[in-house]
Structure 1
Amino acid sequence: MTVSGFLIDLDGVVYINGEPIPGAVSALRELQKRGIPFRFVSNNTHRSRETIRERLARFGVDVPAAWIFTPLTAAIAYLRDAGAGSCWLLGSPDAAAELRSAGINPSDPNASHVLVGDVSDVLEYDMFVTGFRILMRNRAELLALEHDRYFKGNDGLLLSAGAFVAALEFAADVSATLLGKPSAKFFQAALTSLGLPAGEVVMVGDDPRSDIGGAASVSVRGVLVLTGKFDGVLPADAPAPWKILPGLSDILSLTQ
């Protein structure tokens, strides 16, 4: 099968806790050298696209911010479509800054939408209570920037936003709208950006549900790598990947 382009996850595939994974940067630079198009499809809600772009540039991988697809970009589009100029964000200062730069107030107690992302640096009980009250009082819509259960850090597995989304869903008796992976709409935006048929694109990730399952929803084959949280054992409810490879550098053989 022809592989003409890639969708590539970041955390656990290109880097872990901001440190590049051996072989990943050289693989990306080789793709650029060969003229093989790729886009980054990340569920990172802690950092803005510009912050991610700057990090990649420090590694020696220069890409436009438009090549980086995150739930924050999807959230901005969603709020604009809804005619909402504000929200209540449970997330990082960098995420709040990206929303502000798009003209969206991230801390409006009268908001019609509550967004939940990475709260690892700002986790406070009162912040969640306010979000819960907005859901109840305003009948606000709960938006999950991502719904992953956990991710891999330098010191082991860490809780991801899905756990906190589930808490608010339970307390407010609502169901969240998912904006990031494995949303088919999210993957379709990245696939459309590549301008390639789905059958010629491969998604590379470390999460069987978010990466492989999400890619399958738009008919893109999935490759799991062993550098992140995937331990080689597929969950019973996860779709089977096309391939399982040691790391990102091994995808180069798929283009030959």
Structure 2
Amino acid sequence: MAINAVFLDLSGVLYEGDKIIAGAVDVVQTVRRRSLPVRFVTNTATKSREQILNKLAELGIDVPPHELFTAPDAALAYLQQNDLTPYALVHDSIAPMFADGDSEPDCVVLGDARARLNYASLNRAFQLLMQGKPLIGIGDNRYFSDGEQLLLDAGPFIHALGYAADTEPVIMGKPNKAFFREVLATVDVPAAECLMVGDDIYGDIEGALNAGLQALLVRTGKYQPGDESRLSFPVHAVDSIVDVVSVL
């Protein structure tokens, strides 16, 4: 089927750690020259959107703010829409987004908080959940690559709390269908004609396919040998983002 819009994950697809992946800048420029809408879709929760945009610019990829969709932004919008005050267990870089004075929290927001994911903070979140307060997860990734090794992401902690408190987390970001629909609404292209390019077989690929998009797995970033066979349906995989041009 024709591809008339391209959605790109960031870490592991365009860059690894602080290094651009070879050919990534040229691919983005090629997509733009073909007048295809491009969106940058990420669960990154250790940088503010301003930091993400600055990092991309430093790597040679200029992204207008309206093309960037992040899971933290989706979580913040959800809180505002539902008038919720969070106990925010998130990374210091995005903590100001979720600060709400000294108000008593009526929900838990959990993201990739790194060293803040300790017993004391997780137990505080658990106690709030046991009072019936909802759990909102920023993304649902199992692990990520920092460019050198695989590291635990927020997903395991979100599901551990959900299991302990017997509550179903509300996931903001990938692989949530609503998150993909939010991005789709900005391109005026049918889902079946949009291509999601990612390195996460579950969050990027399975999430996009479940939302009705096409999906392309790259063998960079967090990709692990055999990921193509982890889902119950065929997955199209290529060596890197350079190969995206050949499928457009």
Q: Which category describes the TM-score, using the shorter chain as reference length?
A: over 0.9
- Match of 1:44? 44
- Match of 2:60? 60
- Match of 2:222? 229
The residue type paired with residue 78 of structure 1 is Y
The residue type paired with residue 97 of structure 1 is P
Question: Contact 1:144/1:165 (CA < 8 Å) preserved in 2?
Answer: yes
3-state secondary structure, aligned to 2:182: helix
CA distance in 2, matches of 1:28, 1:237: 28
The residue type paired with residue 94 of structure 2 is A
Question: Contact 1:212/1:239 (CA < 8 Å) preserved in 2?
Answer: no
Residue by residue over 1:84-119, the C-alpha shift from the partner in whole angstroms, topping out at 9 and shown as x without a partner, is 2x211111112212335xxxx2x7572111011002
- Match of 2:30? 30
3-state secondary structure, aligned to 1:61: coil
Once the 2 structures are TM-superposed, how far is the Cα of residue 230 of structure 1 from its aligned partner?
Answer: 1.8
3-state secondary structure, aligned to 1:240: coil
Question: TM-score under structure 1 normalisation?
Answer: 0.89
3-state secondary structure, aligned to 1:7: strand
- Match of 1:218? 211
The residue type paired with residue 68 of structure 1 is L
Structure 1: which 4+ aligned runs deviate by more than 4 Å? none
- Match of 2:111? 117
- Match of 1:130? 124
Question: Contact 2:220/2:239 (CA < 8 Å) preserved in 1?
Answer: yes
3-state secondary structure, aligned to 2:237: strand
Flag the 1:238–1:71 CA change in 2: closer, same or farther, 3 A.
Answer: farther
- Match of 2:154? 161
Percent same amino acid among aligned pairs?
Answer: 34
- Match of 2:170? 177
Once the 2 structures are TM-superposed, how far is the Cα of residue 37 of structure 1 from its aligned partner?
Answer: 1.5
Structure 1 gaps, min length 5: none
CA distance in 2, matches of 1:66, 1:97: 21
Once the 2 structures are TM-superposed, how far is the Cα of residue 239 of structure 1 from its aligned partner?
Answer: 4.0
- Match of 2:88? 89
Structure 2 gaps, min length 5: none
CA distance in 1, matches of 2:117, 2:190: 41
Flag the 1:237–1:31 CA change in 2: closer, same or farther, 3 A.
Answer: closer
Question: TM-score under structure 2 normalisation?
Answer: 0.92
Q: CA RMSD in A?
A: 1.8
3-state secondary structure, aligned to 1:92: coil
Question: Contact 2:92/2:113 (CA < 8 Å) preserved in 1?
Answer: no
The residue type paired with residue 130 of structure 2 is M
The residue type paired with residue 203 of structure 1 is M
1:190 partnered with 2:183:
yes
Match of 2:192 among 195, 199, 202: 199
3-state secondary structure, aligned to 2:7: strand
- Match of 2:98? 99
3-state secondary structure, aligned to 2:174: coil
3-state secondary structure, aligned to 1:231: coil
Residue by residue over 1:230-256, the C-alpha shift from the partner in whole angstroms, topping out at 9 and shown as x without a partner, is 234135445432x2111112111223x
- Match of 1:75? 75
3-state secondary structure, aligned to 2:150: strand
Question: Contact 1:147/1:161 (CA < 8 Å) preserved in 2?
Answer: yes
Residue by residue over 1:144-176, the C-alpha shift from the partner in whole angstroms, topping out at 9 and shown as x without a partner, is 111111112223211010111122112222221
